[in-house]
């Protein structure tokens, strides 16, 4: 498969600016790979496809308010700082992206908050937009992290042209988010409401939680025609023994195993044993799933509608089958499904 196979024209108005009014009332396209059929439902209808003993694999990562706005010393120029990952807690070193980057050099200081209560010094250039910052703050580590949370805003994607609202802090987060560390939400999971989770639980559906801290690398455009030459950014991944036991028991009983989102899919496909079972994992993964790929763990997946040429679309193509995926996306555009982070969902069985 080549990069050009994943190009399609996406009308701009189909990029969702806001989430559905209620989480589980987004639209749901159901694709049956065996029957080669496409159906149109509501997300809450997802319950009809799962029974006692089936498993949903959820990514319980939690988005932190990663976008900060500061001012450069002397000039006062407004600078956006996007926190990517903490490099050293003791020294308060962070890997960040800055914008506009051309103004930010090693040795510059940035001031945050109306009272300049947080200061950062640029100590390294990592990429054209990437910098390493050392934050200078008098309080304890806990107070420092609280200050970042207070000054930061929810990192909704750049394509959303409106300002961040208080509602985004809640809606750009899954209801089962626990482990802080993501700079983007695992968006397929945004459709689950407490009510729907309870109904699934009553039906006997089990939940296996994994933690993959989504980085911005997930959304990096692929710039090579030969997909095998694309390098994914590494993301931190943790799979517990408990999650493995839930998944492997369902696999042994030939129950339905569904990954909720491309991040859950990447997580489980990163840690498969030679016996084709799920292994515990604690480390980093740069797994890139693209066609052709033999999937070992999941029998179905829930995902959102992705943008052209994205690695997420390539994973869906590998799981769904390329021709059926193309047909589904043509139908989604015709039926005006909403795309991307706050958009509608797809269940592939």
From CA 43, how far away is CA 46, in angstroms rounded? 6
Output the pLDDT for position 98. Answer: 92
Output the pLDDT for position 96. Answer: 92
Output the pLDDT for position 85. Answer: 87
Whether 262 and 315 have beta carbons less than 8 Å apart is answered as: yes
Structural domains present in the chain: 3-63+169-348 (3.40.1780.10), 67-153 (2.40.10.240)
C-alpha distances (whole Å) from 180 to each of 60, 86, 133 are: 9, 12, 20
Output the pLDDT for position 75. Answer: 87
pLDDT, one tens digit per residue, over 46-104 is 999 999 999 999 999 999 999 999 999 888 889 999 999 899 989 999 999 998 888 88
Whether 216 and 235 have beta carbons less than 8 Å apart is answered as: no
Output the pLDDT for position 1. Answer: 83
CB burial string 237-258: b at 16+ within 10 A, e below: bbbeeebbebbbebbeeebbbb
Alpha helices in the chain (DSSP H): 141-151, 166-171, 194-202, 241-252, 262-269, 311-320, 322-334
Whether 147 and 136 have beta carbons less than 8 Å apart is answered as: no
From CA 298, how far away is CA 278, in angstroms rounded? 10
Output the pLDDT for position 220. Answer: 74
Output the pLDDT for position 103. Answer: 82
- Kindly give the confidence (pLDDT) of every residue in the chain, 349 residues in length, as a single tens digit, with 9 standing for 90 and above: 899 999 999 999 999 999 999 999 999 999 999 999 999 999 999 999 999 999 999 999 999 999 999 999 888 889 999 999 899 989 999 999 998 888 888 999 999 988 888 999 999 988 778 899 999 988 899 999 999 999 999 999 888 989 899 899 999 999 999 999 999 999 999 999 999 999 999 999 999 999 999 987 777 778 899 999 998 888 999 999 999 999 999 999 999 999 999 999 999 999 999 999 999 999 999 999 999 999 999 999 999 999 999 999 999 999 999 999 999 999 999 999 999 999 999 999 9
pLDDT, one tens digit per residue, over 178-222 is 999 999 999 999 999 999 999 999 999 999 999 999 987 777 778
pTM for the predicted model, two decimal places: 0.92
């Amino acid at each position: 498969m080549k990069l050009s196979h994943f190009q399609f024209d996406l009308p701009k108005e189909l990029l969702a600016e806001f989430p559905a009014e209620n989480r589980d009332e987004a639209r749901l396209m159901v694709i049956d790979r065996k029957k080669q059929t496409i159906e149109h439902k509501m997300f809450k209808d997802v319950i009809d496809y799962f029974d006692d003993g089936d498993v949903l694999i959820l990514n319980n990562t939690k988005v932190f308010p990663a976008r900060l706005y500061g001012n450069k010393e002397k000039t006062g120029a407004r600078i956006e700082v996007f926190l990517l990952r903490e490099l050293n807690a003791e020294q308060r070193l962070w890997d960040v992206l800055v914008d506009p980057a051309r103004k930010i050099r090693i040795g510059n200081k940035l001031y945050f908050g109306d009272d300049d209560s947080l200061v950062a010094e640029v100590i390294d250039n990592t990429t054209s937009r990437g910098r390493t910052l050392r934050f200078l703050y008098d309080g304890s580590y806990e107070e420092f992290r609280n200050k970042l949370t207070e000054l930061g805003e929810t990192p909704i994607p750049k394509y959303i042209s409106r300002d961040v609202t208080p509602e985004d802090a809640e809606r750009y987060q899954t209801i089962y988010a626990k482990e802080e560390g993501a700079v983007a939400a695992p968006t397929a999971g945004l459709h689950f409401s407490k009510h729907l989770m309870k109904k699934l639980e009553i039906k006997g559906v089990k939940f296996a939680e994994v933690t993959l801290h989504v980085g911005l690398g997930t959304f990096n455009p692929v710039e090579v025609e030969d997909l095998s030459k694309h390098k994914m950014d590494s993301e931190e991944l943790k799979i517990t023994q408990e999650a493995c036991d839930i998944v492997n028991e369902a696999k042994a009983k030939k129950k339905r195993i569904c990954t909720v989102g491309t991040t859950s899919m990447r997580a489980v496909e990163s840690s498969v044993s030679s016996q084709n079972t799920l292994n515990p994992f604690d480390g980093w993964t740069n797994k890139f799933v693209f066609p052709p790929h033999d999937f070992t763990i999941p029998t179905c997946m829930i995902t959102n509608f992705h943008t052209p040429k994205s690695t997420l679309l390539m994973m869906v193509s590998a799981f769904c089958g390329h021709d059926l995926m193309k047909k589904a996306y043509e139908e989604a555009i015709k039926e005006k499904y909403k795309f991307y982070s706050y958009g509608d969902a797809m269940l592939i069985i």
